[in-house]
Every structure is written in C-alpha cells, then in structure tokens.
A and B are shown apart, each in its own frame.
Chain A
C-alpha cells in the first residue's frame, strides 16, 4: 500500500516510539498478530499473551488515527482483544482497514506535523467530532483511553502539566521580548509533544486543542502570522484549558466527579481557528521574524529531544537525569534514616564502648557518624524543589491582573532557584497568590495617582526568595501607597477587634489585616477586597510553621516577608524537661529563656502569674499545670522560664529545666489523636523515645481564651 505523502513527510508521534509511518506499523503489527494466532493454533498460553499484546498495540495504533468513523470498530477490537477472541478482533480490524483505506487521505492525521507545506490550504479542521453533541461520551472516551494503564496515564498527566508549565513561562517571556524567535520554538515544541502524547493515548480532546494551537503557532513560527496580544492570550488560555482538562481527567480517573470543560474548550478552539483563518485576510501584518531557524529544525528531532534546546530558557535540570519517586517511599526512607541516626547515637553513647577507649574504634565510630549525618542530609534534600514554578505562576497572575485593572506593573523575580520542601512549595501557592493579588489591588495605586504623587507610572512588584538564618524568606515588595495605619485602626475599632483604650504598636496594627473578615478596601473589586483572604493566608502560613511580617512605609510601599522553615520534616527545637517528661518547643517560637529572680515575679494569692522581662510584663504558664504533670521544681525561682511568642503576644512557660537544643524529625501523632490544642506532633528523641512537640500558637491561644473567660 502506497504511503501518503503526508505520512512520509511526517514524524508521527505515533503510539509506540519510532518514526515508521503508521500504515507500515499497522501492517507489521497485524502480521505479528496473525503469526501469533497461527503459532498458538488453538489459543495456548504463549500465543494468547503475544496476540493479546499485538491486539493492544493495534488498538493504540488505530486510535492514533482517530477518525469518528473508526470509533465503533476500534471499540470492537478492544473488546475482542480483551476476551481473547482474536478472530473477532481481526474481523473488526479489517473493518477499520476498510475505513482507513477509503478515507485514508482525507482522514485528518493528528500525528502529522503541521508545518510542512500548507501555505494556501487552510488548516483542515482536524476533528469534525469537535462539535458533535455527544460531549459527555467524548469525555468518557478520554477517561477510558487512560484507564487501561494507570502508570502510563499518570506519566502522561504529569508530563503534560510539566510541559504546560514550560509553555506558560515561555509565553510570558515572549511577551516581554517579542523579538526572540527561539521562544516561539520553545512554545511550539512542548505543545507538539503534548499533542503527540495525547494522540498516542487516545485522549482526543486534549489532542484536538493542542493541535489547533500548534497550527497557529506554526504559522507564527514561519513568519506568516504575527504573535501579538491576541495570540498570547489564546496561548495562555490554551495552557489553562489544557491543564484543566488534564487535571479533570486525573480527577475522573480517581473516581472523583469532573467538571464540564467542553464549552470552554470549544470556545477556545473557535478563537484559535479564527486567529488562524485571519492569517489569509492579513488582519495582523506578519512581523519580520527570522523564520529560517524555526524551519531548519526537524520537528521530529524536536519531538524526540525537546530538552537540550529548552534548557536555555527553563534551566530545568540542565540535562540532568531525574527519577520520579513516590513521596511515600521518600518519607519511608527519611523515617529509616532517622532511625539509623538514633541507632548510631545510641551506639556512640554505649558505656561499654566508651570504656573501651580504643583509638581505632573511636575513629571508626566517628566515620560512622559522619556517614549517617551525610545520609540524613541527603535524604532530607530529596524532598526539596526550587520555587521557580510557583513564581512563574505569579508572573502569569500579575500579567492577567494588570490587564484587568489597567495598572501597569513591572514584576521583578529573584531567587527562583531557592529550594523548599515540596509540600511547602505546593502549599505556599494559594497564600502567595492572595498576597500578590492584594499588593496589586490595595498596594499599588493606579497610574494617574502614581503620577500625581511623583512616582514612576509603572508600579513595581518584586517577588524574591532567599535563605536567612535557617529559614526561607519569601518577600513580596511593592512600591505602592503602603498600609494606612489610621484607617486599619479605625476599621479594627469599628469592628470591635480593638478596644478604644488599647495601645498598639504600628506592627500590631498591621497584624490586624490578618483578622478574619477584615478589609479596608472601600470598594469591593473583582480582584480583592471581600475581606476574605488575609486571614486564610495567615492560617495557611501558620500550618507551614511560618510567619508573616509586614514592613510598611506610608506612601512608599509595603513588604510582606513570609518566613518559612527550610523543611517541614525537621524542626529545630528546644528540649524542655517537666517532671519525667520531655517536650520539644520549636525554636522559632522561643524569644528567650531565663532563671527568674524573686523580684521579677509577680504573684497573685501566692501564685506566680506574671514575670517582668525588662520592660514587659509576661503572663506565666506552668507546663506542669497545663498538662497535669507533677513538676520537680515547685519554686519558680529554681525553675526555668521560656518566653515564647505567637501573634505578637508573649507567654512565659515554666519548666523544670532546659535539656538542650535538638533537631528533631517531626512525626504526626496520626488522626487517632485529632487536633490537640498545644501539641503539634511527636518527635523521636535521641534515645528513641517519643517527645511531644509543643505548639506555641495553641498554648498562647489558651491563655488568651482563659483570660477572656476570667475577665
């Protein structure tokens, strides 16, 4: 059978890797199937297994050709293949074959690269099925296409999302520097890969949309269409819709209810089609774009090895190989390494070894210690990922918001390579989004106002991430109006959050914006100002054991500093002893610790209740009272007071003694204990026993609650 010119020119991203045209590969697979059945004679085990895999391949191949007329026979092949009825599969296949040969040349080939030679020919609508009413069944088809092989599906989804992330970043870069024709390639290639993968797996909805956009991009690449604002919007929208489609598929695969994305998808396909159609009418004059490099690159090469060219812009590992590992496996490894460190410590402290005082033994033990601590560091670092992707999302957000609100903004990103715990990176996304939104809406003034006050018309928003003293700091800095202290205070008073006679420092007033329901925006805009948000931000950051600080100068701008622990797995703690129990207090919550002098302590009815720390009066809590433990020291002047701070409030915790500073691995107490006020989790201490990690927020919150009740 003669190959179609298209098929020969093409470098199909066909189901199985390789660049043989589909027609030939179908031929080969079919032959194999016939052989297998012949060898099997009466279907015996070996024959069946081979034949079954050949049928599966056929189904995949034929799916890749994706034409609506082929759907029923494909389903028949799949069904017959599964039940081992290969004769029926063959019959069904011959039907497919007929359809294919009849429509062969007209059947749109989704696996066909778009560019080759199609100057006048308006890009064939790749899927007539796009406007069939049976949208739901198409969704089901896509789900069914992925259901067979969960691993493959997970890989497809993960890869697609990665590629979409790359595309988004490149589009934004291209918008900033429209003359960089290489960026266009960087957008085109991942789209092409996503399309190819989707086609191979039979996820037709994703494939169609990606194909459409690819058509458009190809026209731009060859200089026949300008990549202007409309195209940028379309490409970004395509990233959104494709991500939504893929995540929706993922949800459906997990048995969760999906959302109907068809209207959005079809609308976008129309938009893209109109842009493509507009090319001939030359609504947008083609820009002078050096088209040559784009065309020289064989798309097949791009398909096979998209990485090397991409890395220049995305730096995603610079060619380093990486392995995707289940996080549970990583957590287990971290658990085991933690145990190893403890075992090593116990060995090191073993009295009989200490007695031995052998030089070689000591040396070997020291070596063991070095190796275990290196191992621990390595195990911990495996959970770390750079914050780059999150920042890129913010870049997109700022772009969209600035379009919507008409404020022009310079976004400056720095420290994108700063690494954070994977979970932190995931969980910081939403709060960061809120804060960027807030800075855009409340922080930065509009252009008119800025010129009035003698500022540059463009606002400046800087996002940066850096290390500082064992913490990661994410700073969001704007050069807007700054927080209006009086207005916040007035608002807080009117809402009853502050008593009129309360004396608050500016910092404390600024913290008010994190109270639930608080908003000073005079009008509610589309972007923000509904009074939900900052309290949620605060809660999210708290959950990550982080803190937010605000530095604001009226008229000059506001800086929000989010301080986060390096990792969620390890906590820097102060070991406290009470009675025969030990507790871990996170170091970040501790201000100081002291042995009180009698004159510092204020008593009520003989009970010490306040302590004078320099110029502040700090309420005292006995940890032993709080948790019903018998303390060793009853005299406060022989105990130790640890001053902890949360939310700007300080509390002095009375404990028997300080046992030292220790890095501990945080373990959840499990859902069996639910949420306990004052306890954040468990930690395995140096001797292998469990110590409870105290939660400063919970403890300080308790005193306030008690105080309110007493008052």
Chain B
C-alpha cells in the first residue's frame, strides 16, 4: 500500500518537473543529435574564432577567448560528452552561456557543431529522462522532448559545469 502511494508521489513529482521544463529552448546539433538549452541561459551566439589554449587544462577545455573585453573559458561539448572530435567549420558556433557555479555565476563558451533554432517546447512534449541503465550517465539531462518524431535532449548546464568549483 505504502509502496503504491510512494510511486504515485514520484509520478506526480515527475509530472510536475516536466511541466516546469516547458519553455523556449535554443536547439543545436552535436554529433548527429539535437540538444536543447533553455534560452534564458544563453547570452549570445558567436561564430567560432581563434581560441587561446590553456596549458594543463583538461582535454575538453579548449581555452579562453576575448568576449568584448572579458576573458571567458570555452568548452568543446563534443569532447565533454566523449564524442569524437571534428574539425571546426563555418557552421561551428560558440554558444555563450551563463552557468551557476557553487558561489557565483560565470560566463562560458560552449562549442557545438551548429545552432538550429529557438523552439517553444510545451509540457506535453517533454518526458522525464528515460533510464538507460547503469552505464549511461543521464545526470546532465533535464528531460527529453519529442517534437515531430525527433528526440531532443534538454541539457542542464549547471549540472554539467557547475557543482565542481573549477574546470581543472
């Protein structure tokens, strides 16, 4: 009895959570898949430019760039997610996002294959992240949106880059 109540509760919270996820998303392509970022997190989108490498930084941290007088770090999302790297071309973009670290908010550039569009995703289209089994880490995902038969993964940037105080 108590078990079924607990399950109900879980379902209810899951429903509640997916409802909270509804909103506008910037979608982009990465290694053949589509991903979405909440538009409110996105500061701007810039074409790929020369990135100054930082010694001893982890593999996925490409370095730093000058964003109108501010030096911000740039992360290659392909490498961060463990996908094979790909030469940057004219479609490659840096999405500048604001990420909440433990104590503060920082600006950060995220390299993606190509930016697609801004979509309004409704609660009906969102589902909780499916369980892929223990080998797949789904912590980075807030949920999955199904739009016109295609699946878009909704990312939680604070989870991806926050939590740890530094990239190193």
What is A's interface to B at a CB cutoff of 8 Å? 335-336, 338-339, 581, 626-629, 667-674, 676, 678-679, 681-682, 684, 688-692
* Bound complex: CA A205 to CA B54 (Å): 53
- The reply to whether B54 and A684 form a contact with Cβ atoms under 8 Å apart is no
| Distance between A361 CB and nearest chain B CB, rounded to angstroms | 27
Contact for B168 among A336, A626, A673, A681, CB less than 8 A = A673
* Residues of B contacting A667 in the complex (Cβ-Cβ under 8 angstroms): 69-71
Q: For the complex of A and B, list the 6 residue pairs with the smallest distance between their C-beta atoms, beginning with the closest.
A: A674-B166, A335-B69, A627-B55, A667-B71, A682-B71, A690-B52
A670-B106, A671-B104, A673-B166 known; A581-B72 Cβ under 8 A: no
Neighbouring A residues of B68 by C-beta, 8 Å: 335-336, 339
| CA gap between A302 and B106 in the complex, in Å | 48
27 contacts between A and B (CB under 8 A): A335-B68, A336-B68, A581-B52, A581-B53, A627-B56, A629-B55, A667-B69, A667-B70, A668-B71, A669-B54, A669-B64, A669-B73, A670-B106, A671-B166, A672-B101, A672-B106, A672-B166, A673-B54, A673-B57, A673-B167, A676-B168, A679-B54, A679-B55, A684-B66, A688-B66, A690-B66, A691-B52
Residue of B nearest to A674 (CB): B166
Task: Say yes or no for B165: interface residue by CB 8 A criterion.
Answer: yes
What A residues does B65 contact at CB under 8 A? Answer: 690
Q: 9 other contacts beyond A336-B68, A690-B71, with CB at 8 A cut-off?
A: A671-B104, A671-B166, A674-B167, A676-B54, A681-B71, A682-B52, A684-B71, A690-B52, A690-B65
Q: Which residues of A contact B50 (CB under 8 A)?
A: 689
Chain B residues within 8 Å of A670, by CB: 71-73, 106
In the bound complex, residues from chain A placing their C-beta under 8 Å from that of B55 are 626-629, 676, 678-679, 692
Q: Does B97 contact A (CB under 8 A)?
A: no
**Bound complex: CA of A691 vs CA of B53, how far in Å?**
9
Q: How close is A54's CB to chain B, nearest CB, in angstroms? A: 41
Q: Decide if the interface of chain A is mainly helix, strand, loop or mixed.
A: mixed
Closest to B56 in A: A676
CB-defined contacts of B103 to chain A, threshold 8 Å: 671
- Alpha-carbon distance A562/B53, docked complex (angstroms): 34
Residues of the A chain whose Cβ atoms lie less than 8 Å from the Cβ of B168? 673-674, 676
- In the complex, which of the residues A339, A629, A672, A678 contacts B73, with contact meaning CB atoms closer than 8 Å? A672
B108:A672 contact, CB within 8 angstroms: yes
**Chain B nearest Cβ from A621, distance in angstroms:** 13
Shortest beta-carbon distance from B55 to chain A in Å: 4
Report A-chain residues with C-beta under 8 Å of the C-beta of B104. 671
Q: Which residues of A have CB within 8 Å of B161?
A: 672
- Interface residues in B69-86 by Cβ distance below 8 A to A read 69-73
Does B53 lie within 8 Å of A335, measured CB to CB? no
CA distance A47 to B83 in the complex (A): 65
Expressed in whole angstroms, the Cα–Cα distance for A648 and B57 within the complex equals: 30
Alpha-carbon gap, A668 to B69, bound state (A) = 11
Minimum CB–CB distance from B70 to chain A (whole Å) comes to: 7
Type the 1/0 row for B31-72, where 1 means its CB is closer than 8 Å to any CB of A: 000000000000000000010111111000001111011111
A682 proximity list for chain B (CB < 8 A): 52, 64, 71
For the complex, what is the distance from the CA of A412 to the CA of B147, rounded to whole Å? Answer: 78
Q: State A614–B108 Cα separation when bound (angstroms).
A: 48
How far is the CB of B164 from the nearest CB of chain A, in Å? 9
Least CB distance, B64 to chain A, in whole angstroms? 5
Q: How far is the CA of A336 from the CA of B69 in the complex (A)?
A: 6
**Interfacial chain A residues near B53, Cβ < 8 Å:** 581, 629
| C-alpha gap A452/B69 in the complex (Å) | 62
A688 cross-chain contacts in B, Cβ below 8 A? 66
Q: Is the CB of A689 within 8 A of B167?
A: no
Q: Complex formed: what's the CA distance from A684 to B67 in Å?
A: 10
Which residues of chain B come closer than 8 Å to A338, judged between CB atoms? 69
Interface residue from B52, B69, B70, B101 paired with A671 (Cβ < 8 Å)? B101
In the complex, the chain B residue whose C-beta lies closest to that of A337 is B69
Q: B72: which A residues are within 8 A, CB to CB?
A: 670
* Beta-carbon contact of A692 and B70 below 8 Å: no
Min CB–CB distance A434 → chain B (angstroms): 29
Given the known A-B contacts A339-B69, A670-B73, are A692 and B54 also in contact in the complex, defined by CB atoms under 8 Å?
yes
Chain B residues with CB under 8 Å of A681's CB are 71
Residues on B with C-beta less than 8 A from A668 are 71
CA A682 to CA B70, docked complex, whole Å: 10
Q: Are B52 and A689 in contact, CB atoms less than 8 angstroms apart?
A: yes
Which B residues touch A673, using CB under 8 A? 54, 57, 73, 166-168
Kindly report which residue of chain A lies nearest to residue B65, judged by CB atoms: A690
Cα distance, A670 to B72, chains bound together (Å): 7
Nearest Cβ in chain A — how far from B12, in angstroms?
A: 35
Which residues of A have CB within 8 Å of B70?
335, 667
Residues of chain B lying within 8 A (CB to CB) of residue A678: 55
**CB atoms of B165 and A671 under 8 A apart:** yes
* B106 surroundings in chain A (CB, below 8 A): 670-672
A581 → chain B, closest Cβ, in Å? 7
Q: Give the chain B neighbours of A339 by CB distance below 8 A.
A: 68-69
Q: Are B52 and A692 in contact (CB under 8 A)?
A: yes
A338 to B69, CA, bound (A): 7
Given A678-B55, A689-B52, A690-B64, check contact A669 B71 (CB 8 Å). Answer: yes
Please give, as numbers and ranges, the residues of chain A lying within 8 Å of B56 by CB-CB distance.
627, 676
- Report the minimum CB–CB distance from A677 to chain B (whole Å): 8
